[in-house]
Amino acid sequence: RKEVEQDPGPFNVPEGATVAFNCTYSNSASQSFFWYRQDCRKEPKLLMSVYSSGNEDGRFTAQLNRASQYISLLIRDSKLSDSATYLCVVNGDSARQLTFGSGTQLTVLP
Amino acid sequence: GAVVSQHPSWVICKSGTSVKIECRSLDFQATTMFWYRQFPKQSLMLMATSNEGSKATYEQGVEKDKFLINHASLTLSTLTVTSAHPEDSSFYICSAESPRVYEQYFGPGTRLTVT
């Protein structure tokens, strides 16, 4: 079983749509959770950290369910510029090492 | 945000040669840097953790004699792919750990093609 699992997609949605991505992780000792976005042939960039209480940053909302070892990302009012691959990232056995999911590809259509 | 650079951004080399990739933290000191590799349509895989002034820690399955890591200063880590083979062709990305714990900043990556 992969340490971090994501639905690879692709998700093709119209502009303005709401889209949700899910992620599960296997290491119950993980303490830090993140969503990164990666554009084609570029490095990943931190989108947001995910906190137990859930957190929101503009159109983006992240949720964490530790009991189910499940993380989600909700994007509201999708923009064309949101098209990218979204990576679910969890810290591993070492608190400072990150384990990446394989990513979920999103394409926002005009 | 913090800036991390990598050089070169892309490189093509012949099988059997060695290639050195540099990772620099430009506006902060990083005692720890990480090296990742990403094959097409796959996730980033951690190769090794590079610690300033000490030996790197390699992940299982990564040959330390093939992927030489040197972290000689607080702002520079290098990865040398020795005796490169076509299967080493990949996107190599470094990250530097910022003074804020658990926060890593990624370099723009180096695309290596071995012919």
Q: Residues B56-68: pLDDT tens digits?
A: 999 999 999 999 9
For A18, the 3-state DSSP assignment is: coil
In the predicted structure, residue A51 carries a pLDDT above the cut 90: no
Mean pLDDT of all residues belonging to chain B: 92
pLDDT at A2: 76
Length of chain B as a residue count: 115
In the predicted structure, residue A95 carries a pLDDT above the cut 70: no
User: Per residue in B31-63, pLDDT tens?
Assistant: 899 999 999 888 899 999 998 888 899 999 999
Q: Look at strands B45-51 and A104-109 and give their pairing.
A: unpaired
Interchain contact, B49 vs A98, CB within 8 Å: no
Share of chain B above pLDDT 90, in %: 72
Nearest CB partner across the interface for B93, out of A32, A43, A102: A43
What's the rounded mean pLDDT across residues B92-101? 84
Closest residue, chain B, to A91 (C-alpha): B102
- Among the listed residues A13, A17, A14, A57, the one whose alpha carbon sits nearest the alpha carbon of residue A35: A57
Q: Does A40 touch chain B (CB under 8 A)?
A: no
- Among the listed residues B22, B23, B20, the one whose alpha carbon sits nearest the alpha carbon of residue B82: B20
Identity of the residue numbered B63: E
pLDDT at A63: 96
Contacts 24+ apart (CB under 8 A), B101-107: B101/A95, B101/A96, B102/A32, B102/A91, B102/A95, B102/A96, B103/A46, B104/A98, B104/B34, B105/B1, B105/B2, B105/B3, B105/B4, B105/B25, B106/A43, B106/A44, B106/A45, B106/B4, B107/A43, B107/B4, B107/B5, B107/B6, B107/B23, B107/B24
β-bridge mates for residue A80, sequence order: none
Chain-centre distance for alpha carbon A54: 13
> Considering only CB atoms, which chain B residues are within 8 Å of A45?
106
Interchain contact, A100 vs B49, CB within 8 Å: no
Q: Does A4 touch chain B (CB under 8 A)?
A: yes
From CA B96, how far away is CA B68, in angstroms rounded?
17
Residue A33: how many other CB atoms lie within 10 Å: 21
From CA A2, how far away is CA B43, in angstroms rounded?
11
pLDDT at A50: 92
